[in-house]
């Protein structure tokens, strides 16, 4: 059968163009004086990750360890050249000192170049670029100071105490001595209730009402392993301009509309009735009107005891001109708080609960500190200051964030050519448009910085030992002006629920507890392979008599 040349020639030309497009940067690093990982069409250097042969956390550690003697090496992430920076001092220069060259994150999930685009993710703080980001960060920055977190603390305590009470009553009502639970499910429901009350201004109880609309829609929004979401992720990586032209969003429209309606209703109700509540909605309303007051940070920083992992707001986040947020921009910021609270915080708590379960000495020592704190409060509810003064609690949380950082890596986009010169033998240019990977999980598991890195050892963060830690090799909340704006909020949320749960229960392993724990393979989110199962065993209180 003859082949029609009129069909064949255009077909070959199209295939050749596609092949050129997906391989044109595969040799990008060949003229750079740094090692680089092998590449292949479409996958770049990430086949093992994209085909679910490894987890993102383990992938970052694997590539970090591939070149142990270099400061930086190259790889191709699907189609984009990426410089993986291993050296803490170079990370500090890129993330802090020379921030102007690396202002933005790379647009993995689309951006907001089109002002008429109603896609929510592109309007979130994490996705905004350049001056838009500066103005939004300056607008939001005053809402995340220690004093503002203090105002919201009662809401978090209420959720924490309710959760401990729920599981205590559940055991009593069922007439059993203990109960096994899967930790990701437990803490996702807790984080859901906290973010509902603190960021959206509504009260839900995801323990008693397991299938409430807020929780169900949140679960759907966070289901990043669904085929449609994976196709979107690939689309944003391979043809980002086309995805933005169509106005496609990482979030499904149904969930976006649901959360948008909640915020709109809340705003209307509060403005109509003059309702003031110590939550994020109120702070955003103040920020939107430009009435939120910026505190004297010097005084606050001097007086407040902060967790080791807490990141500081840079001058960049305080010197933007601020902006008048639209309603859609307010919704977008609430959504990004939701994503962080729903997934990142619940992930941290899941792995922290695992480590406390399998490291009984650490759990017992933490419980003694909790008892002492409770006694000093005379039975009253936990206070913000009391929590901040719990040193061992901070050590335990800091170590869990080292071992199981919910963000195994972070990135920056080079916005103008940057010359790397270490004053020795290394000199090359990071070209505008290429990306930087900061391999957080690799740094956190490097024995050069953390001896015996796979051992859970809170003593690394004791008063005597924390001075030995290289601050540029401990990055659970990122580094520089684009660090996590909500580190204070996340830490008090994590510590509060651990306080109330360990006060009532000991965490015990069960036959379903996977030891050692292994991570689920694939790119979407850090989660355990088989779940993290823990038994909640009620503690005998001092005034209880053993039978």
Q: Which residue has the tokens 């196709």?
A: 231
198 annotated among ligand-binding-site residues: no
84 three-state secondary structure:
strand
Cβ-proximal residues to 356 (8 Å cutoff; 6+ apart), any chain = 362, 363, 366, 396, 498, 502, 507
Q: Which residue has the tokens 């289901």?
A: 223
What is the spatial distance between Cα 259 and Cα 477, in angstroms, rounded to a whole number? Answer: 26
Q: Which of 376, 404, 406 is nearest to 390 (CA)?
A: 376
CB 127 within 8 A of CB 107: yes
Tokens standing for residue 356: 């406390």
- Outline where 51-182 has alpha helix (H): 56-66, 88-92, 130-140, 146-174
Describe the strand order of the beta sheet including 533-538 as a list of residue ranges: 179-182, 533-538, 505-508
User: How many CA atoms, within 13 angstroms, populate the side-chain half-sphere of residue 296?
Assistant: 4
Using CB atoms within 10 Å of the CB of residue 547, give its burial: 0 to 12 exposed, 13 to 18 middle, 19+ buried: exposed
Cα–Cα–Cα angle for 499, 312, 151, rounded to 5 degrees: 50
Cα–Cα–Cα angle for 280, 284, 289, rounded to 5 degrees: 155
- Residues belonging to the binding site for heme are 484
Residue numbers belonging to the annotated binding site: 484
């Amino acid at each position: 059968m003859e082949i029609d040349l009129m069909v064949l020639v255009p077909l070959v030309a199209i295939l050749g163009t596609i092949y050129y497009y997906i391989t044109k940067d595969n040799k990008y690093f060949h003229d750079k004086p740094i090692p680089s990982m092998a590449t292949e069409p479409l996958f770049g250097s990430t086949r093992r990750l994209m085909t679910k042969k490894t987890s993102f956390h383990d992938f970052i550690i694997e590539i970090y360890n591939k070149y142990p003697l270099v400061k930086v090496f190259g790889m191709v992430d699907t189609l984009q050249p990426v410089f993986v920076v291993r050296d803490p001092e170079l990370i500090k220069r890129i993330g802090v000192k020379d921030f102007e060259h690396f202002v933005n994150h790379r647009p993995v999930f689309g951006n907001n170049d089109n002002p008429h685009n109603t896609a929510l993710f592109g309007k979130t703080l994490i996705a905004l670029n350049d001056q838009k980001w500066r103005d939004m960060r300056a607008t939001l920055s005053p809402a995340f100071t220690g004093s503002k977190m203090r105002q919201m603390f009662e809401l978090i305590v209420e959720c924490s105490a309710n959760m401990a009470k729920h599981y205590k009553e559940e055991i009593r009502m069922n007439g059993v001595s203990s109960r096994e639970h899967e930790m990701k499910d437990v803490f996702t429901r807790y984080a859901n209730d906290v973010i509902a009350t603190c960021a959206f201004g509504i009260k839900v109880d995801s323990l008693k009402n397991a299938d409430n609309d807020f929780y169900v829609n949140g679960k759907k929004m966070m289901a990043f392993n669904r085929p449609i979401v994976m196709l979107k992720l690939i689309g944003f990586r391979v043809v980002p301009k086309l995805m933005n032209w169509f106005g496609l969003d990482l979030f499904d429209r149904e969930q976006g509309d649901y959360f948008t309606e909640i915020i709109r209703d809340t705003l209307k109700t509060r403005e109509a009735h003059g309702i003031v509540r110590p939550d994020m909605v109120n702070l955003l309303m103040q920020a939107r009107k430009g009435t939120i007051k910026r505190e004297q940070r010097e005084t606050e920083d001097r007086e407040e005891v902060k967790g080791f992992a807490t990141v500081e707001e840079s001058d960049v986040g305080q010197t933007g001109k601020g902006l008048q947020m639209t309603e859609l921009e307010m919704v977008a910021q609430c959504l990004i708080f939701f994503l962080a609270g729903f997934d990142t915080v619940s992930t941290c708590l899941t792995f922290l609960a695992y480590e406390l379960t399998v490291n009984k000495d650490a759990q017992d020592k933490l419980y003694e500190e909790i008892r002492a704190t409770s006694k000093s409060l005379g039975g009253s509810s936990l206070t913000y200051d009391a929590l901040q003064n719990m040193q061992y609690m901070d050590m335990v949380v800091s170590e869990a964030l080292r071992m199981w950082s919910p963000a195994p890596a972070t990135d920056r986009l080079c916005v103008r050519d940057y010359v790397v010169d270490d004053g020795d033998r290394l000199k090359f240019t990071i070209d505008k448009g290429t990306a930087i990977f900061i391999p957080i999980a690799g740094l956190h598991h490097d024995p050069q910085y953390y001896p015996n890195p796979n051992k859970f050892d809170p003593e690394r963060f004791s008063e005597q030992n924390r001075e030995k830690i290289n601050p540029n090799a401990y990055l659970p909340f990122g580094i520089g002006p684009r660090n996590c704006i909500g580190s204070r909020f996340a830490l008090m949320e994590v510590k509060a629920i651990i306080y109330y749960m360990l006060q009532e229960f000991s965490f015990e392993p069960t036959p379903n507890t996977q030891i050692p724990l292994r991570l689920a393979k694939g790119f979407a989110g850090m989660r355990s392979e088989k779940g993290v199962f823990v038994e909640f065993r009620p503690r005998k209180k001092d005034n209880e008599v053993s039978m």
